[in-house]
Amino acid sequence: MNLLAIAWTIARKDLTGYFRDRTGMMLGFLLPVVLITAFGFVMKAAFGGSGGMPKVTLNVIDRDQTPASQKLVESLKASTMLQAKIDDAKPPATEEQARGQVADGAAHHILVIPEGYAAASNSGKPPDLVLIRDPGRQMEDQVIRFGLMRAILESGPTHWQSSLAGLGEKFGMSGPELAILNLATGQIQNAFEKAAASRAADSKPATIKKLDETAVLESFLPIRNEDVSPPRRPKSVTYMLAQNVSGISVMMLMFGITACSSMLLVERDSGAMRRLVSLAVPRHSILLGKFFYAGVIGLLQFAVLLIYGEVMFRVGAFRDPFTLAVLTIAWVVTATTFGMAVAAWARTAKQGEGLSTVLILVFAALGGCWFPIQIDALGTIGQLIVKSTPTYWAMSGFHALLWDQLSWTHPRVLTAIGVQFTMAVGLAILANVFFRRRYLAG
């Protein structure tokens, strides 16, 4: 009997026992599926905003209750960055009540559209909106201010004129001077609108149909926006979804495989290892057999997770089956050797469970399984630590496949695969050393 045949005999025996325990097997497969479902939906809900950003809640009190204020409210509701919660109390809450809500923590940002908002806008004055906020919520504040700016600009075509009028007031312009300014801006507005109307029938129509504050502001920025994304990336895939499917799959595989690797400890404690060691088989075939067993289970678990992720969230995992297969094998081999090294090192099952849980959670966090790692924001040592985790390279490979739509020939994917296999070799050597020390004492 050759080495592989012996190892496979050992693996087949373990697989028989594994599949016979239906409840245990179902739990092994079900737990990652439940997690990926929960995380998938949470990510979709939490990061369903513009460009995969979280939608930030903005409470809105419309005290004006006019068509103009309603237009602003509708614009806020349509925002991809904001989750506008409109206060529909009759009568609307006062500014004082709004301050109380923020002070109580019931809301972190409340926009009050004051009475007279429409009148001010119509008279060419800038609207006097009030944003009551918790100063500790700076991250939300940045998103809200940007979202508010867009919503306000989109809600009315004449704000640029009123803004200039407000600016004129700050310059100390007198009534007649302001009247001249308003006349001038009105004429400018008319000139642009007439031009746009007369170009409508031309072969080269105007790219801007109306002059508003957005158009004015954008004209100050010498930027031409170009959206480029991999042509084969499915529209259903968001950044956080791709992150979630690969992150949970990578992390849960480590847990699954480590559980399988603990078979070494079980056999040592039961005395079966002593019998195996006394048989006329090479000692390393025993370790290889356990590697095959954990690897087969790992491949099955990973395949189930990817198929489930594909069916549930359409992540396009099977777009490039060969790259997917190579990345999967690289990670299963790496995770399996990790599990074997921990199991071979541990003197007791408790030690093995403790060490593997700590390492897996640390690797998952550092490697970006839970949330994307901004590697460039870390210092040299931070980058070194992150890049020394196997999860980082697994995530790098799957991210390249699912999000960047790269194939195995791309240097980034090849590097991820190469580093994982290198780590696997190191871990396998470590596992073998520990196995000889702990299991073949003497």
- Cβ proximity to other proteins, 136 vs 442, nearer residue: 442
| Of 143, 155, 159, 152, the residue nearest 80 (C-alpha) | 143
Restricting to residues 245-274, which ones interact with other proteins according to CB under 8 A? 270-272, 274
Does 21 interact with other proteins (rule: CB under 8 A)? yes
Rounded CA gap, 342 and 262, in Å? Answer: 9
Q: Are 428 and 434 in contact (CB under 8 A)?
A: no
Helices 138-155 & 67-77 angle (0-180, nearest 10):
130
Q: Which is nearer to other proteins, 145 or 274 (CB)?
A: 274
Q: Within its chain, how far is the Cα of 113 from the centroid?
A: 34
Of positions 3, 4, 13, 103, contacts other proteins by CB under 8 A = 13
Taking the complex as a whole, the smallest distance from the CB of residue 393 to other proteins amounts, in Å, to 35
Alpha carbons 137 and 181: distance in angstroms, whole number: 39
Residue 341's H or E segment, with its range, is helix 321-345
Residue 282 is a binding residue for other proteins (CB under 8 A): yes
The least distance separating other proteins from the CB of residue 18, rounded to whole angstroms, comes to 8
Q: Is 1 an interacting residue with respect to other proteins (CB under 8 A)?
A: yes
- Comparing CA positions, the residue from 289, 257, 232 lying closest to residue 5 is 289
Both tokens of 246, joined, read 């690969």
Residue nearer to other proteins on the CB measure, 1 or 183: 1
Between 328 and 432, CB nearer to other proteins: 432
Q: How far apart are CA 334 and CA 311, in angstroms?
A: 26
Which of 208, 279, 362, 433 forms a contact with other proteins (CB under 8 A)?
A: 279
Q: Is residue 2 a contact point for other proteins (CB under 8 A)?
A: no
- Does residue 277 interact with other proteins by CB under 8 A? yes
Among 145, 194, 210, 275, binds other proteins (CB under 8 A): 275
- Residues 177 and 168: beta-carbon distance below 8 Å: yes
Helical H runs in 114-238? 117-122, 138-155, 159-170, 175-199, 213-220
Q: Least Å distance between CB 346 and other proteins? A: 19
| Piece of the chain touching other proteins by CB under 8 A; list 153-161, 247-255, 275-283, 371-379 | 275-283
Nearest to 413 by CA among 316, 295, 299, 325: 325
Residue choice 86, 276, 325, 385 for contact with other proteins (CB under 8 A): 276
Stretch that binds other proteins, among 9-17, 114-122, 152-160, 349-357 (CB under 8 A): 9-17
Q: How far is the CB of 300 from other proteins (least distance, A)?
A: 18
Q: How far is the CB of 428 from other proteins (least distance, A)?
A: 22
Site membership for other proteins, residue 281 (CB under 8 A)? yes
Residue span 368-407 as binding mask against other proteins, x where in contact by CB under 8 A, dash where not: ----------------------------------------
> Residue 373: which residues within 8 A CB-CB, separation 6 or more?
366, 367, 386, 392
Answer yes or no: are the C-beta atoms of 265 and 410 closer than 8 Å.
no
Q: Does 26 bind other proteins (CB under 8 A)?
A: no
Show the CA angle centred on residue 365, arms to residues 296 and 412, nearest 5°: 70
Q: Does 22 bind other proteins (CB under 8 A)?
A: no
Strand partners, 132: 110
* Cα-to-chain-centroid distance, residue 393: 17
Least separation in angstroms between residue 11's CB and other proteins is 11
437 binds other proteins, rule: CB under 8 A? no
Query: What is the DSSP secondary-structure string of 173-189?
Result: --HHHHHHHHHHHHHHH
Contact residues: other proteins, CB under 8 A = 1, 6, 9-10, 13, 16-17, 20-21, 270-272, 274-282, 440-442
